[in-house]
Amino acid sequence: MRSHSIRQRLSAATPRARVPATTLLAVAAAVALHAPFACAEPAPEARAAPAVAAASDVATDVRVERVRPKREKHPTLRFLKENRDFIRARFDLLREKPDDHSGSAAAIDPRFLSYQHMLREILSARDSLAVAEDLRQRRDLFQSVTALGELEKELDLMENLLAAQRGRLGVMQADFTGRQQTALAIVVSGYPGDGALATLTITLDDGAPISIALSDEQRESLRRGGMLELFHGLVEPREQVLSIAIGGEGWPADDAGFVTLDPARDRLTFLRMDLTPAHAAQGAASMRASTWLQDTALDGSMVRASDGTPIRP
Amino acid sequence: MMERDIPVVRSLLPRPHPPRRTLAIALMLTALLGSRAGAGTHASSEARSGLDIAAAAAQSWAGDASLIYIENDEDLQSGGTAPRWGYLFFSPALEKARVYSVRDGKIVVAENLEMKFEAPPLTAGWIDSGAALDAADEKAGRAFCREHGGKLSTMLLMRGAFSEGDPDQTTWTLIYTSPHAASLFVVVDASAGKVRRTWRG
């Protein structure tokens, strides 16, 4: 089991692909918008109120279970598994094909060497023909104004082709640089009524456990209504079970709460674990969880400061 | 849960009539598994239909993952369709292969392949399972089913393993089985849609 502080966790390489740094801003914005207790210092009541309304509209409560939910088993790739030795043997044959011939070099037939020379002559002749043809075409083109008009048409065609190519490149760029991949951000808030909080451990489906040791400052932040990000990374767009364990004095060992999530494809899903209702005697399953999606309709250019000036023009 | 017959490849060479005991066991197994098979209530689609979401998941798993193998995970229906297809990806960085099984546009299985399987990536532009089935049926499959009471059990797409002449070729391999005769293998070039070879085994 790996152990990281939260700051270390954000920069450490994990088996899963990392989320680009720019999306961290989106996480911060979305958490601030949907979770009113995100700030280390509680915001004034008047300013938090609209956000509370927004959060209650979009966040969905998620059940935290005591036992890992059973999932139906589906067999897959059975032909491959049944015939693996045969298929592997076929690949081995492709990689290595020994024969009875020795590896020593034989004398090269002089005729073969002359073929190379002939090939060079052919290429040279072709180049000469191309140059001659080019000159002839140029003479023809400039012989009349009509020919110049045709040349202009050809240039227009080339420009159109270039414009179309630029358009295609634009589509590809949008696909590869601006596309949101399926991602998950897990945040924790609140502080348990009893029991000391020392570590939080998250285990993603098929992933290694990620253990986070909480510092005194982080514990104090949670007590004051702060929120901590435990995980932010790419996840598979499928139904999966996450486990979250609480470590510390009074908490039962080998205990975890299980949450079933189905992250939406190409969206950022948030999972908030609220520790406020959790009790050491009842284990990690006594915490509360809710989930919501990042609001992609938000237009950053519309964000304005209190004096009405755009924050990001 | 739906099951399907899995033919086990023993040899590339044609073989004589199967012994009587093997035939009896094959008949029993076919009857047993056949009774559990069926289209169910899930939509049946061609192989390419689930590729998009499987590829998205594979990219989340490993940025360098590439598709290396496809196989039907449930019984094949008409037109080269199946309710569930399995997509296998390989990551050179992780040195692991991971399979995603897709049904109704959702990933219902995601698991790492326990065996070592470093197949080359499939080439782009492969024909879908329906077109591959058309070619195979026309060449030999339809006749085999008619003469031996057989059926199409497996379709798999991979590169190299079943193409004799060109090891770089991505091919569909279709396996027709019958309780009364040796299975029929038909290899279809996944680029040109032409049958490259057939054999019984």
**What letter represents residue B123's amino acid?**
T
Task: Give dist(CA A94, CA A299) in Å, integer.
Answer: 54
The mean pLDDT of A290-309, rounded to a whole number, is 65
| Per-residue CA distances from A80 to A199, B87, B110, B115, B129 (Å) | 43, 12, 16, 10, 17
A58 vs A226, more confident:
A226
The mean pLDDT of B156-169, rounded to a whole number, is 82
Q: State ipTM.
A: 0.78
Whether residue A85 lies within 8 A of chain B, CB to CB, comes out as no
pLDDT value for A99: 63
Of B6, B69, B106, the CB nearest to A82: B6
Q: Name the minimum distance, in Å, from the CA of B21 to any CA of chain A.
A: 21
How many CA atoms are closer than 13 Å to the CA of B115, on its beta-carbon side? Answer: 14
Label the pairing between strands A257-261 and A240-247. antiparallel
Instruction: Identify the residue whose tokens are 């924790």.
Output: A188
- Rg value, chain A, Cα: 32
Task: Give dist(CA B87, CA B81) in Å, integer.
Answer: 15
pLDDT tens digits, residue range A207-232? Answer: 889 999 999 999 999 999 999 999 99
Residue contact A87–B63, C-beta within 8 A: no
The mean pLDDT of A73-95, rounded to a whole number, is 84
Does residue A295 sit in helix, strand or coil? coil
pLDDT value for A61: 92
By CA distance, what is B155's nearest residue in A? A79
Residue contact A78–B4, C-beta within 8 A: yes
Residue contact A74–B1, C-beta within 8 A: yes
Residue B33 has pLDDT above 80, yes or no: no
Least trusted range by pLDDT, from A45-54, B105-114, B116-125: A45-54
pLDDT value for B8: 56
By CA distance, what is B88's nearest residue in A? A77
Give me the percent of chain A exceeding a pLDDT of 90: 34
pLDDT value for A240: 95
pLDDT value for B129: 97
Residue B112 has pLDDT above 70, yes or no: yes
Of B6, B60, B119, the CB nearest to A17: B60
pLDDT value for A123: 82
Q: Name the minimum distance, in Å, from the CA of B61 to any CA of chain A.
A: 6
pLDDT value for A97: 58
Residue contact A73–B99, C-beta within 8 A: no
Residue contact B61–A16, C-beta within 8 A: yes
Residue A168 has pLDDT above 90, yes or no: no
pLDDT value for A95: 64
Q: List, in order, residues 6 or more apart from B169 with CB less than 8 Å away.
A: B123, B159, B160, B163, B189, B190, B191, B196
Residue contact A80–B10, C-beta within 8 A: no
Label the pairing between strands B66-72 and B151-159. antiparallel
Helices (H), chain A: 6-11, 21-34, 45-58, 78-82, 84-95, 110-141, 145-177, 216-223
A277 vs A93, more confident:
A277
The phi, psi pair for A149, rounded to 5°, reads -60, -40
Band (A98; pLDDT cuts 50, 70, 90): low
Are the CB atoms for B155 and B186 separated by under 8 Å?
A: no
- Look at the pTM and tell me if it is higher than 0.90: no
pLDDT tens digits, residue range B115-150? Answer: 888 888 999 999 999 999 999 999 999 999 999 999
Are the CB atoms for A80 and B161 separated by under 8 Å?
A: no
pLDDT value for A179: 66
A196 vs A111, more confident:
A196
Residue from A303, A309, A305 nearest A25 by CA: A303
Residues of chain A positioned with their CB less than 8 A from the CB of B101 = 74, 76
A187 vs B15, more confident:
A187
Token readout for A183 is 């991602």
Which of A71, A73, A74, A88 should be substituted to probe chain B, the one whose Cβ sees the most B Cβ atoms within 10 Å? A74
Residues of chain B positioned with their CB less than 8 A from the CB of A181 = 56, 59-60
* A273: β partners: A188, A289
Residue from B106, B114, B124 nearest B88 by CA: B114
pLDDT value for B158: 94
Band (A151; pLDDT cuts 50, 70, 90): confident
By CA distance, what is B119's nearest residue in A? A91
Name all contacts of B29-33 with Cβ < 8 Å and 24+ positions apart: B29/B5, B30/B5, B30/B179, B33/B3, B33/B4, B33/B5
